[in-house]
Amino acid sequence: CAVAENKKLSLNIIPNTNNGNFFITLPDGSKYGAKISVFNTAGSKVHQKVVAENNTEYFLNLDHLPKGI
């Protein structure tokens, strides 16, 4: 996760292992907002979302994508 001035932050994915539906929780640094990108095993971007400032949790539904992403 990268935020203002490209500072790196950690995040949590819950549940970790999942069926394509999961929450990403962002730390306090999310006050700057974040861009979440998901890539497949070939390196192609399959999903991208900009998360608004002050949002500490984002729900991802990727069950429409092929398994193994």
pLDDT of 29 reads: 52
pLDDT at position 5 over 60:
no
CA distances 50 to 17, 19, 66, 67, Å, are 23, 22, 23, 24
What residues does 61 pair with on adjacent strands?
21
Which one has a higher pLDDT value, 50 or 2? 50
Average pLDDT over every residue of 53-57? 78
The pLDDT of residue 9 is above 70: no
Mean pLDDT of 39-61: 85
pLDDT at 31 over 50: yes
